[in-house]
Structure 1
Amino acid sequence: MSFDSDLGPINYVVVAFASTPVPSAGLDQLAALVDTGRILVLDVEFVAKSADGSVTTVDAAEVGAPTFAGASSGLIDNDDIAVVADKLVPGGVGIVVVYEDLTLLPALKAWEGEGATVVSEGPILVEDLVESIDATEQG
């Protein structure tokens, strides 16, 4: 297992809306996370499903998110788009965001400076966390 302490955890989130335009509050919060250095957005893709069920990626401005125009980097591929499309209602739009979490990097750098070595890292699935909490509460 390898770890690159110059990178924070890489995650993604998919959010679906029944129609356009995409509400701006969440997009504003996403931009604020970038502006404050908490995350680095690696890719953003907007996926639209027409009334007849056909799926396309669309420009951010087409769904009311002009701030994110040009944010697509190609990390999200056609297989990913198909998974998102499956979750959309006809006329709906989905946002896929791939991002790097930068919040822990200063602590990792400090530990390295003190001679520590990061030996493992990885995600914890929400389902696993809930299951563990439930087991703890029942025991």
Structure 2
Amino acid sequence: MDDLEQTTLDELGPIDFFVIEFPESHLTGEGLLALVELVDRGIIRVLDLVFVERRSDGTTVRLHLDEQDHRPVLAQFTGASSGLVGDDDLTVIGEILEPGTWAAVLVYENTWAAPLGRALRRAGGQLVAGGRIPVQAILAVLDDIEADSGTDHRLVERA
């Protein structure tokens, strides 16, 4: 993984994160293979990949990649740590997880968008709003449109 500190602000694409919770016994590795493909294709750059477990007694622990040796695909992400995900973040994440589950915390740069961002910044553009629209919300809007419900739909809310 590249060193984030060596990347200038002008070179960065948008940075996102997500936390995905898994039941303890349901790791297939399929998602990790898809993640490797995105990295290999240059679409994203992994800045942090952290695994957290909330044990059945409610305690939360960080899982280290080298402890996951029965999942060889994880070895590719050993050292994927920019330090952006801190202990305070993991505490909050642990509080939202159900006992007996674990989560993958991924912080990634959308490298595909970096050239667009550079061009827009050079032209004086400045991001004033952004967000992510859940797939379920898109499907609900499409269902309403198809039903011609006349409901007003808004993808952007006032801050």
Question: Which TM-score bucket, shorter chain as reference?
Answer: 0.7 to 0.9
Structure 1 unaligned segments of length 5 or more: list them.
Answer: none
Residue 11 of structure 2 is matched in structure 1 by 6
Secondary structure of the residue that 1:85 maps to in structure 2?
A: helix
Alpha-carbon distance in structure 2 between the residues aligned to 1:54 and 1:19: 14
Q: Tell me whether 1:78 sits opposite 2:87 in the alignment.
A: yes
Residue 103 of structure 1 is matched in structure 2 by 112
Residue 45 of structure 1 is matched in structure 2 by 50
1:113-138 CA distance string (max 9 Å, x none): xx6232225531437xx49x859861
Residue 125 of structure 2 is matched in structure 1 by 118
Alpha-carbon distance in structure 2 between the residues aligned to 1:30 and 1:122: 27
Contact between 2:13 and 2:117, CA under 8 Å: does it hold in 1? no
Secondary structure of the residue that 2:105 maps to in structure 1?
A: strand
Residue 33 of structure 1 is matched in structure 2 by 38
1:17-40 CA distance string (max 9 Å, x none): 110463211111111111111111
Secondary structure of the residue that 1:124 maps to in structure 2?
A: coil
Superposed CA RMSD in Å reads 2.9
CA-CA distance at 1:108 after TM superposition? 3.9
Alpha-carbon distance in structure 1 between the residues aligned to 2:12 and 2:86: 22
Secondary structure of the residue that 1:79 maps to in structure 2?
A: helix
Contact between 1:8 and 1:105, CA under 8 Å: does it hold in 2? yes
CA-CA distance at 1:71 after TM superposition? 1.7
Alpha-carbon distance in structure 2 between the residues aligned to 1:17 and 1:57: 15
1:49-71 CA distance string (max 9 Å, x none): 22222111011243433332222
Contact between 1:44 and 1:97, CA under 8 Å: does it hold in 2? yes
- Report the AA paired with residue 14 of structure 2: P
Alpha-carbon distance in structure 2 between the residues aligned to 1:16 and 1:41: 18
Alpha-carbon distance in structure 2 between the residues aligned to 1:111 and 1:90: 45
1:63-88 CA distance string (max 9 Å, x none): 43333222233211122101211222
Q: How many corresponding residue pairs?
A: 132
Percent same amino acid at aligned positions? 32
Residue 4 of structure 2 is matched in structure 1 by none
Residue 102 of structure 2 is matched in structure 1 by 93
What is the TM-score with the length of structure 1 in the denominator?
0.76
